[in-house]
Amino acid sequence: MGRRSSSQNRSMTPQDVSMDNERTQSAKERRGRFRILIIGRVNSGKTMILKRVCDTAEEPEVYNMHGHKVDRSILAASAERGEHDIENEMVFASNPDFCFHDSRGFQSGGSAELDRVKAFIAHRSQQQKSENRLHAIWYCIPLDDSRPFTAAESQFFSEFGTGDVPVIVVFTKFDALNNKAYDTLRTNNLSRADARKEAPKRAISEFEQRYLHLFYNRPYPPKGHVWFRDNLFLLQCQIISIHMLQTCKRKAQTVTSSLGKRPALLTANFLAAYNQQLSPVYD
């Protein structure tokens, strides 16, 4: 992924995503499996995101690089020893179209883990079959930390060229920013009702002014970013997947996302916005 300038952000509306079950099913039969690498610090909300994307409360099934199912007791024992295999595939029965890989421990910034991530991205990017190729990277950043941009993020967006694989930053634990914005608005004598209404907009505005440039003013900036908010997360999951599909299905005439039982069809308006590097935020 080459250098590019900072993105200009604009809010999108839910009308930019329309529902079309029949056409989605047709595309679903053509596309195969979507393979996603999810990166994030400990307690960044990665597991919750995956479960919400796949519309389930169940744990995923895990398969090794040879396609053999890995027993949960073996995974637990390995985790206790601090061992983790990025090649393991996580698949949820509720939505087997998504195949996830987890880069645990990346936030530590250790050279060994960084090398494993680089090797994984390079290897998966070169696969001939689409279902074996890496299609997207989701980088999860929790907003309940006083330092949302750490040395790990600096190193990743400064040194990690991911080629054609788009990186989407997913800002999680948005409530922490909401609460701070609400308190500030109340201090400014807004009523409780008005403060609750204005807090999300103010939280995003303040974060973008203070931190967003740290992600985009880098040699290898993300393709885009989304905010994790429970009541809007379904729509935002669609946007994340749309970013991914636009890259890995350039020749497809219909771009869709599959989220549980609620497939979505991307409209021409959003495609235009995507090409302009706009970041979708639903208010």
Residue 89 vs residues 64, 69, 151: alpha-carbon distances, Å: 6, 9, 28
The per-type count for the chain, helices as H runs and strands as E runs, is 10, 10
Contact 5/106 with Cβ under 8 angstroms? no
Can you tell me the distance from the alpha carbon of 236 to that of 228, in angstroms, rounded to the nearest whole number? 8
What does the buried/exposed string (b/e) look like for 141-166 if buried means 16 or more CB atoms within 10 Å of the residue's CB?
bbbeeeebbeebbeebbeebebeebb
Q: What does the alpha-carbon distance between residue 99 and residue 90 come to, in Å, rounded to a whole number?
A: 6
Q: What CA–CA distance (Å, rounded) separates 104 from 43? A: 11
State residue 106's pLDDT score: 61
Write down the pLDDT at residue 101: 93
According to the model, what pLDDT value does residue 255 have?
A: 34
* Domain residue ranges of the chain, discontinuous segments joined by +: 33-255
What superfamily would CATH give domain 33-255?
P-loop containing nucleotide triphosphate hydrolases (3.40.50.300)
Place of tokens 């995503």: 17
d(C-alpha 231, C-alpha 91), whole Å = 24
- How do the pLDDT tens digits run along the chain, 283 residues long? 444 444 444 333 444 434 333 433 433 443 457 889 998 877 777 888 888 878 788 888 998 888 888 877 666 545 544 557 888 999 998 888 889 998 875 655 567 777 888 899 999 988 888 888 898 898 888 888 777 778 888 888 988 888 888 888 888 888 888 888 999 999 998 999 999 999 988 988 888 888 888 889 999 999 888 877 654 454 445 555 555 555 444 433 333 344 333 333 322 333 333 333 333 333 3
Strands (E), the chain: 17-18, 34-40, 61-63, 89-92, 95-103, 136-142, 167-172, 224-227, 256-257, 264-266
110 Cβ partners below 8 Å, 6+ apart? Answer: none
Inter-residue contact 92 to 98 (CB < 8 Å):
yes
- Residue with structure tokens 């209404």? 197
- The pTM of the full predicted model, rounded to 2 decimals, is 0.70
The SS3 assignment for 34 reads strand
| Rounded (5°) CA angle 89-95-100 | 25
pLDDT for 83: 57
DSSP assignment of 149-180 equals: S-HHHHHHHHH---TTS-EEEEEE-THHHHHH
